[in-house]
Structure formats: structure tokens, C-alpha cells
Structure 1
Amino acid sequence: MIRVHHLEQSRSQRVIWLLEELKLDYDVVLYKRDPVTMAAPESLTKVHPLGKSPVITDGALTVAESGAIIEYLIDRYDKDRCLKPLDGQALLNYRYWLHFAEGSLMPLLVMKLVLTKMATSPMPFFVKPIAKSISQKIQSAFIEPRLTPQLQFIEQTLTKHTWFTGESLTGADIQMSFPLMAVSTRLDISQYPNIFRFLKQVEATTGYKNAMKKQDMLLGYKGAEITL
């Protein structure tokens, strides 16, 4: 039996969605964050030494990292070869977007979130203007000049194709869904109509709907917060 070790407010929703697309039986083991530090509980380190999520166990096997999990599940269980291009440029694009999500896009989003929180965190009044100024300068000088071209490139890609590698949903789309959802909650994406369209397509898939229903049921509330 596949088990998804799901830390609340983490990136495990992509794994649950993929399992629904593959129509596999699975269990979800829920872990609660420390309410003060937001750190994962010690019990998660018994599954993987870093105590991070997502991580799955499949019998005696343990697989961590979203991209590695997606590759493992598709390679082992996608018997109809529906969720991964077979060859050519489409396969290369699949691999590119599978790694781009966490290797290029997410680091910038995490930095942006940390800097935003730094500027708004409680601190002595005389320090606050300095912290806000530093945050704004780093974002304008470093993050935005790198994030904007990435979003423009994504927009151009989705102008050419319905999904990231063509006209069918693949694991690359599942991997890219999370960072783009994070973007949509923190930035105005009205200038990126195809990214907006992509996210609406994601939300309309049966697998995604089933995954969100299961996640909401497990967490006990509707609409799990997207965190980075």
C-alpha cells in the first residue's frame, strides 16, 4: 500500500492528485506542524531523515522530493503511458518542466515570501523602516528581474500548448501546478491569461477535484492554504 506522509500546509497535494489520476489505492498519514515554529514533528524524521514533506512509502521503498515521487509513480504505475510523453522534444520538455518547478521557480517564490514576512514581522519601530527598505530593494533588484522573465516564458509556453508538453495532461503539469497556484495567490496574474487558463484547467480535472476533496476531508476544513 502506498502511503503519502502529508505535512499540513505543504506541497503534498500534487502527489495526492497524481495518485488520483493513476487511480491507485493509497493512505494519507497526516502530520501537524508546531503551532509556534511551524516546524514538522519529530515523527516525520522516522520516515525520512530530513523530516520534510512530501514523502511516500511504497512497501519497503521510501521516495522523497516532489519531482522524484512523480517520476517514480509514473514510471512504475502509469501502465497506459498517459502521463509522460514517449519520446522526442515533448519528453525533453516534460523533464525540463518537472525540474524547473522546484529548481528555478520555487526558490524565487520562497525568497519573495521570506522577504515579505521579514518586512511585516513584529520588531522595534525604529528597525521596521530599515527592514522594509532592505526587503523592497532585494525584491526589486534581484527577485523581480528574475521572476518576471520566468513567468513570461511560462506564459509563452502555454500560448503554444494546452498543457506544458502538448495537448494532454502529464506529470509536468502536476508538478508545475503548485508554484503557479502560489504565484496566483501573491501576484496579479491578469497579465498572464494563459497561466490563469492553465490553473482553471487544473481545477476542472476530475483527479484534482477528488484529491482536494480527500485533502479537505483529512484536514477537517475546506481550502488548504498554499504555503511555500
Structure 2
Amino acid sequence: MATNEQEPKVTLHWLNQSRSQSIVWLLEELKINFDIKLYHRNKQTMFAPPELEKVHPLGKSPVVVITPPGGSAEPIVLAESGYMANYLCEHFPEGRRLVPQKWKEGMEGKIGGETEAWLRNQYFLHYSEGSLMPYLVLSLVISRLKQPPVPFLIRPITTAVANRIISSYIFPNIYRHIKFLDQQLSTSGGRYICCDHLTPADIILSFPLFSAKDALDNMGQWEGGSWKKEFPRVADYVNHLQNEEGYKKSTQTIAKVDGPNTEVAPKM
């Protein structure tokens, strides 16, 4: 996507099966012209290629690089999804549409003067990566003990260990988080996690929910036999996000640069 000389050049360094999916969606919602630099994981290790370390020392994705127009300043390198979302929404006009109003009338600049929707948006931008995602990543890592390349003869042992960790530690914590999200949705005042319109928090939260939704039922016991039956409010929310036009457009954008069968999220 080309930019003109009056606009900053925005480049997303995109790694397949990574959190980059949600940033593509955010960039689309903000109507930002951007380019995508494509990277693929090592098929054996699933690690990112070393080329990403040239962009950011941690060699992780997503990373957004913003080059100010006219070469007047050094490029800005943004990493961490919540920080990225805050920066982009502050500096691009469409961010005012996505981010809830910050202050209650007459309470500007005062402690406690923030609106509930704004506070929720700030919280869930960081909750997604800091609280929810670690359990899902751990589930993905532990589940690999039950499949190749673990040797066939010892796989029953590693499978038993993996199942024990999932049932005694991972599932109880994930269950707590799904229940928490259900409670938050019941008090958000709308169809989304913060209010009655899409926010950056919804977009960032979409990645862990989309990644885990098909695997949750196999992690443990749910009332009614399914997480969707026990927490239909969360299931409706996930379905609603997947039907957002911005999300659909982001998947089309990725398909254009990496092929139509690209997996945009890891399978739990």
C-alpha cells in the first residue's frame, strides 16, 4: 500500500502465526496506508527468523516501524501490542473514533475523572498479553509433549505429564479468565468489552480468543459440555468479532501477501 510524501511511511513486520494479525486489523481500522514485510517461522523450531532481530533486538513480531515524512526524524520502532495500539491511536485521526472518551464532563485531569469505557480500554490492552496470553502459550507448548517430534516410545509418559499440567494448572486458570471475560461483557454496556462500539482493546483481545476457541473444550470440564454453552456471552462476543468487516479485511490483506491458505494464528 503506497504512501504519499505528506504521510509517514508505516511498515508492519509480519510473522506468520503471530500476534501480528490483530495489528493488521488495527491498521485497517485506522485507515493507515502501510506496507507489510513478511517473515516465516522455522518449520522445525517454530522460531522467528534471525532477520527480525535487525528490526528489534528481541526478534519478535509484531513490530511497526514509522518513518516520519520528509526524513525529519529517525524512524520510530514500536513493539508490544498494547503500546503499539496506544501510539497508533494517539497519532492517527481514526484513533479518536476507536478510543472511548477519556474524561467525564467536568472531571478533566482529575483522579477518578476517567470514564469507565476508557479505563476498560487501557486495562484490556495490557490484560490480553500480560494475563490471558501466557496461559494459552503455555498450553500450546505443553501440548507439543503429546505429539511428534517426541519419540513414540516415550510419548505415553510425556502425554501423561502434559495432561496433568493442563488439568491441574492451565485449565483452572483459563477457566477463571473465560469466566472473568463473561462477567466483564455483562457489565460493559454494549456488545464489546469496553462499551457499545469497537475499541483497540477488542482488536488486541481478539488474537488470544481466536487462537484458543477451538481447543478450549478439550482442556477440561465445562458445564453443559462446552465453554460456549457455559459462557454463551463470550462465545457470542468471539463470533461478533470474527464477523467484523475490519477483521475480514485484515485476513484478505494477509492472504494477498502470503497466500490464501495462510494460518494467521497458532492452534492451541
The answer to whether the superposition gives a TM-score over 0.5 is yes
1:157 paired with 2:184, answer yes
Q: How far did 1:125 drift? A: 4.5
Deviations 1:70-124 (A, max 9, x none): 1111111145612112222221111111111011111001111111111223444
1:23 paired with 2:31, answer yes
- d(CA) in 2 for partners of 1:96, 1:144: 23
Specify which of 27, 32, 36 is matched with residue 40 of structure 2.
Answer: 32
More moved, 12-21 vs 156-165 = 156-165
Specify which of 162, 181, 190 is matched with residue 210 of structure 2.
Answer: 181
Q: Secondary structure of the equivalent of 1:166?
A: coil
**Amino acid of the residue matched to residue 2 of structure 1?**
V
**Amino acid of the residue matched to residue 198 of structure 2?**
L
How many residues are paired up?
A: 228
Structure 2: 5+ residue stretches without partners: 1-8, 68-74, 103-114, 218-226
Q: Secondary structure of the equivalent of 1:33?
A: coil
User: Per chain length, whose mean CA-contact separation is higher, i.e. which structure has more relative contact order (CA < 8 Å, sep 6+)?
Assistant: 1
Structure 1: 5+ residue stretches without partners: none
**Contact 1:5 1:55 (C-alpha < 8 Å) held by counterparts:** yes
TM-aligned CA distance change 1:45 to 1:216, over 3 Å: same
- d(CA) in 2 for partners of 1:92, 1:46: 35
**Amino acid of the residue matched to residue 42 of structure 2?**
D
- d(CA) in 2 for partners of 1:223, 1:43: 20
- d(CA) in 2 for partners of 1:210, 1:124: 41
More moved, 178-187 vs 49-58 = 178-187
**Amino acid of the residue matched to residue 118 of structure 1?**
L
Q: Secondary structure of the equivalent of 1:4?
A: strand
Q: Secondary structure of the equivalent of 1:6?
A: strand
TM-aligned CA distance change 1:132 to 1:21, over 3 Å: same
- d(CA) in 1 for partners of 2:151, 2:47: 25
- d(CA) in 1 for partners of 2:82, 2:234: 21
Specify which of 79, 94, 102 is matched with residue 64 of structure 1.
Answer: 79
1:167 paired with 2:196, answer yes
**Contact 2:16 2:265 (C-alpha < 8 Å) held by counterparts:** no
- d(CA) in 1 for partners of 2:173, 2:239: 25
| Structure label with greater radius of gyration | 2
Specify which of 117, 125, 134 is matched with residue 144 of structure 2.
Answer: 117
Partner of 1:222: 261
Normalised to the residue count of structure 2, the TM-score between the two structures is 0.80
Q: How well do the aligned residues superpose, as a CA RMSD in angstroms? A: 1.7
Q: How far did 1:8 drift? A: 1.5
**Contact 1:180 1:195 (C-alpha < 8 Å) held by counterparts:** no
Partner of 2:61: 53
- d(CA) in 2 for partners of 1:129, 1:214: 42
Q: How far did 1:190 drift? A: 1.8
**Amino acid of the residue matched to residue 191 of structure 2?**
T
Q: Secondary structure of the equivalent of 2:181?
A: helix
Partner of 1:102: 129
**Amino acid of the residue matched to residue 46 of structure 1?**
K
**Contact 1:105 1:179 (C-alpha < 8 Å) held by counterparts:** yes
